[in-house]
Structure 1
Amino acid sequence: MSCTYSKLTSKEQFRNDINAVLTCPSLTCGQPFVADEAWLSNFRAKATMPDHTDYQGNRRLGFYYQWLWQQLIAAHPDYLLVAEEIQLKWNKQTLGAIDFLIKNTITGQLEHWEVAIKFYLAFQNSWPGPNASDNLDKKTARMLEHQLALCDHPAFRHQLAPQFGQPAIKRLIMQGRLFYPHDKLSSGSDLGSGIAINPDALNGKWCYQSQAPDLQLRQLSKTQWISPPCYQDLKMYLDTCELSIPTQAVSPDDQVWFVVPDHWPTHNRDR
């Protein structure tokens, strides 16, 4: 966490991030293997707060989010971490990595979990991310059809199943926030794709930088996207004139915003 942006200590932000992971609903519903509220609620009921540890890994948000889940699993009485970030190779090609293999100590079953933290903006019948080459439909399909299928691949069955066993349960845990256009008069084409959205998914608003000067937003660092501090705990006002990448911020009413450059999504990079 960057102290430049927030008054919170690293320990406070860690606890907030852990609590956010425990309470954040899944983005979608209705797809196979998606962790629903019933499962998340059961996991949360027995979860204990891990001891605070400063994160030392890859600075990309997805790696930090996966590490938060690793901390929660390690501290949970019903789950035992068997292996994580397992690279699979077949015919000299890398197929991908399995996020977690976990033993359910109640059922005795081995489980395969894939986790992802994602942020998408409703735009022209789709859900693009801040990097608009990514979108919710494509990411969901990738997680379901490729990532969760890795444990069924011959590479796993031949190379890893003899060591770890064959998973009996698969889980997709994809959390984050969905952003809707700030203009309430936006057309239906700006309300995302037809994928089934969890009605309880966290949401926010988005706008172009030219629409934001009067909003008095305070800026978030990317490490704060999982659990945005409240407005009064943030230090830096968002200078929309200098904005060059999609940036999250918080308004005085603690609404979370995504402000994107006026050229988004044509040029669509984030940090």
Structure 2
Amino acid sequence: MQTNYNNATDQQQALHDMQALLHCPSLICTPYAIDEQWLTKFRQHAVLPRDLAPYQGNQRLGFYYQWLWQQLIEAHPHYRLLAEEVQLTWQKQTLGAIDFLVENTQTGHLEHWEVAIKFYLAFQQQWPGPNAKDNLDKKTTRMLEHQLQLSHHPAFIEQVAPQYGMPNIKRLLMQGRLFYPHQQDTTGSSLAVNPQALTGNWCYPAQAAQLTLKPIRKTQWINPPSYCELETLLDVDTVTAPTQAIAPDNQVWFVMPEDWPHRDGFESLENTQ
């Protein structure tokens, strides 16, 4: 699947993607997760950057997403980006990297932000991703119990705090979309997902053959185009990788290969109990 931001993401698309993120609810309702009140306030004062240079970073969607938020922070009148990708090591071991250290210029508070763009599908009371080794519960646990705790690790206190101080606030920005199975009454795990999260449907190619869908590139997942903007109909016989597509009602679909999620070593809850 094509993922080339240097060509596909010109300034206008990047600005549209930023607009989409400013209206995209959190996937989850957990400690530190942004809520609609915070996002609305951030959006009301947000300024889209002018003379935006083309994105030149890692081609994976998550890196592009982090770059979009970097641009939004740097252009925002109420926030100042102090540091990003703050690498921490301790006793010769790499602990990880803090996404953003941000100063709220109105309160003077130092904030630690972790950001992630994710897409998960409800399947057998779980939320696996397109790569089923990833799932929403594991990702949330990782973000809450590891990533957001880095700013209180002794490595941070010793190596970073002397320059920036200790964070007063931690924020988790996990945006994206949750997909529910076509013609099935199946939910994901018991994790507290945001009822306002963006949603879509998912199905296998055999089911997609009965629908009229138009595929989109991965570079369009953040801000999907409308059905009428697309030309090519989805050929279900060519679906060998998770493919997002748009229906005539502009609903977003995920069409998954027939062997998903088991090709990724997915284990059902029954097999693990």
TM-score, reference length from structure 1:
0.92
| Aligned residue among 235, 239, 260 for 1:239 | 235
Q: Note if contact 1:248-1:259 (Cα within 8 Å) is conserved in structure 2.
A: yes
Question: Relative to structure 1, is the Cα distance of residues 93 and 169 closer, same or farther in structure 2, using a 3 angstrom cutoff?
Answer: same
| Aligned residue among 249, 266, 269 for 2:245 | 249
Q: Note if contact 1:131-1:265 (Cα within 8 Å) is conserved in structure 2.
A: yes
Q: Which stretch of the first structure deviates more once superposed, 10-19 or 37-46? A: 10-19
Q: Which runs of 5+ in 1 are unaligned?
A: none
**Equivalent residue, structure 2, for 1:191:** 187
**Equivalent residue, structure 2, for 1:258:** 254
Offset at 1:164?
Answer: 1.4
Q: Note if contact 1:27-1:175 (Cα within 8 Å) is conserved in structure 2.
A: yes
Q: Does 1:203 align with 2:199?
A: yes
Q: Note if contact 1:89-1:96 (Cα within 8 Å) is conserved in structure 2.
A: yes
Alpha-carbon deviations, 1:137-188, whole Å to 9, x = none?
11111000000000010110001111111111100010000000111xx24x
Q: Distance in 1 between matches of 2:216 and 2:255?
A: 11
**Equivalent residue, structure 1, for 2:23:** 23
Q: Note if contact 1:179-1:257 (Cα within 8 Å) is conserved in structure 2.
A: yes
Q: Could you say what the CA RMSD is over the residues aligned between the two structures, in angstroms?
A: 1.7
**Equivalent residue, structure 1, for 2:140:** 140
Q: Does 1:212 align with 2:179?
A: no
Offset at 1:80?
Answer: 0.2
Q: Note if contact 2:123-2:188 (Cα within 8 Å) is conserved in structure 1.
A: yes
**Equivalent residue, structure 1, for 2:270:** none
Q: Note if contact 1:130-1:268 (Cα within 8 Å) is conserved in structure 2.
A: no
Q: Secondary structure at the match of 1:23?
A: coil
Q: What amino acid is the match of 2:63? A: F
Q: Does 1:38 align with 2:32?
A: no
**Equivalent residue, structure 1, for 2:46:** 47
TM-score, reference length from structure 2:
0.92
**Equivalent residue, structure 1, for 2:217:** 221
Q: Secondary structure at the match of 2:262?
A: coil
Q: Note if contact 1:121-1:128 (Cα within 8 Å) is conserved in structure 2.
A: yes
